[in-house]
Amino acid sequence: MMKFEKWLVQRMVFIFTLLVIVNGQTDTCTGNSQVFSSLNASALPFDKSALHCSSVWSSYNYVLRYSQNSTNIWSFVLSATNRQSWIGIGFSSSGSMVGSSAIVGWVDQSGSGAVKQYYLGGQSTQAVNPDQGNLNIVNNYTTLIVEGSTIYLAFQLQFSTPLTVANILYAVGPQNSFPDSNYRLTEHQAKVATVFDFSTGASSQSSSTDNLRKSHGVLGLIGWGILLPLGVIIARHFRQWDPAWFYLHIGFQMAGFILGIAGISLGFKLSNRLSTDVDTHKAIGIIMLAIGALQVAALFIRPQKDSKIRKYWNWYHHWFGRILLILGIANIFYGIDLANAGSSWNIGYGIALGLLALSILLLEIKLFLSTPQKTTKIPPSTSPTFDNHI
């Protein structure tokens, strides 16, 4: 009976909350919402009259107000329908949840509220750590206000670089479920990843960015990380298939180079869209592109086999090829880490790389065993002989 009464009370609270939401006025950007206008100006840590407004997640009535106060300092007010749950806004360099930092606020049934910064180190509850993160909160000041059926989360952030376009994540917790005494968040009820343009106020789903990031990674991984090593293996271990080995070698190298160029092009597009700091990853990619172009040029200036300069061309071609392979493999793993792509990418490429390494090892053993070993003949003894004299 007690369980039924508890269930009945929960349902009545839920229905009452829905009625408040439906009948209460929700915050909007239209006509400078009366709900927002009624807020006491002193409740906010900055001038609210200068804020721009954008509806960013209509499913949960998320409205983002923002303005730039000074160089790289921005004011934010996130509002949402109060569903008796926590609300959160995250900033991500890659567009993914893992590796991002978020501002989360809530007011529970007793009226007690809190605002915390969290670092999203993984997808489990234990990996979402309170009072951690990469966001620089100005004066460490945040505030949370409840006005009717709307909850407002206000804060200021200082960024290290000018803010033009950003990956912003939004999430909402399950109804009537709040962080525990250690401020551990309950699993979100819903979330969305967006790309926000601060110059226009336009907010769009970031699925296109996710697809762009995946395409950049896949093209680079296959081109630089698989096809180029296969071309090298063919050139070293299958020369007995003359001239087929040469055309296979050229085919794999050209295919890898073309896919690599496509991947780098998408990488530049992705970097411009996300405005992220990936200068090292980008610089390595440009160096790889230059070396690849030199390798292609080497094909057209290849001297004849009996030419005196052929050995220098061989040194140039072989060593630049080795450098290109090393840079390609290193940059692939580095890119996976930058994108917070997770262990599946590292494991997947690690397996492919391991199979290539095993193939090379077996082929090298075969080459060693099939190569005639030179035997050193011991010349007849030339040491002087001494006669015995009596």
Indicate the average pLDDT of the chain.
Answer: 82
pLDDT of residue 223: 94
DSSP category for residue 119: E
Gap between the terminal Cα atoms of the chain: 129
Q: 20-205 architecture in CATH?
A: Sandwich (2.60)
Q: Residue 229: is the preceding peptide bond cis (ω within 30°)?
A: no
pTM of this prediction?
0.53
- Mean pLDDT, residues 171-190: 86
pLDDT, tens digit, for every residue of 87-120?
999 998 877 788 899 999 998 877 778 899 999 9
Q: Which fold has domain 208-368?
A: Four Helix Bundle (Hemerythrin (Met), subunit A) (1.20.120)
- Mean pLDDT, residues 244-266: 93
User: Cβ-count burial of 130 within 10 angstroms (0-12 exposed, 13-18 middle, 19+ buried)?
Assistant: middle
Contact 222, 208 (CB under 8 A): no
Q: What is the 3-state secondary structure (H, E, C) of 125-171?
A: HHHEEECCCCCEEEEEEEEEEEECCEEEEEEEEECCCCCCEEEEEEE
The tokens for 359 are: 């193939």
pLDDT, tens digit, for every residue of 30-83?
755 555 666 665 667 677 778 899 989 888 889 999 999 877 899 999 999 888
- Mean pLDDT, residues 200-214: 74
CA distance 21 to 302: 75
pLDDT of residue 274: 59
pLDDT at residue 26 is higher than 70: no
Sheet with 136-147, strands from edge to edge, namely: 52-57, 62-70, 73-81, 150-158, 136-147
pLDDT of residue 204: 76
Q: Position 26: which residue type? A: T
pLDDT of residue 20: 41
Q: Which long-range contacts (CB under 8 A, 24 or more apart) does 232-237 make?
A: 232/321, 232/325, 233/356, 233/359, 233/360, 233/363, 236/363, 237/363, 237/366, 237/367
Residue 1 or 237, more confident: 237
- Mean pLDDT, residues 119-124: 84
By residue count, the chain amounts to 390
DSSP category for residue 33: -
pLDDT of residue 49: 78
Show the CA angle centred on residue 105, arms to residues 99 and 109, nearest 5°.
140
pLDDT, tens digit, for every residue of 209-231?
667 888 899 999 999 999 999 99
* Buried-exposed string 174-209: b where 16+ CB fall within 10 A, e elsewhere: eeebbbeeeeebeebeeebbbbbebeeeebeebeeb
pLDDT of residue 329: 94
pLDDT of residue 160: 86
pLDDT, tens digit, for every residue of 305-356?
888 888 888 898 899 999 999 999 999 999 988 776 767 888 999 999 999 9
Which element (helix H / strand E) includes 287?
helix 279-300
Residue % of the chain over a pLDDT of 70: 82
Residue extents of the structural domains in the chain: 20-205, 208-368
pLDDT of residue 281: 92
- Mean pLDDT, residues 148-170: 89
Residue 34 or 249, more confident: 249
| Extended beta strands in the chain, E state | 52-57, 62-70, 73-81, 87-92, 101-107, 113-120, 128-130, 136-147, 150-158, 165-172, 190-197, 202-205
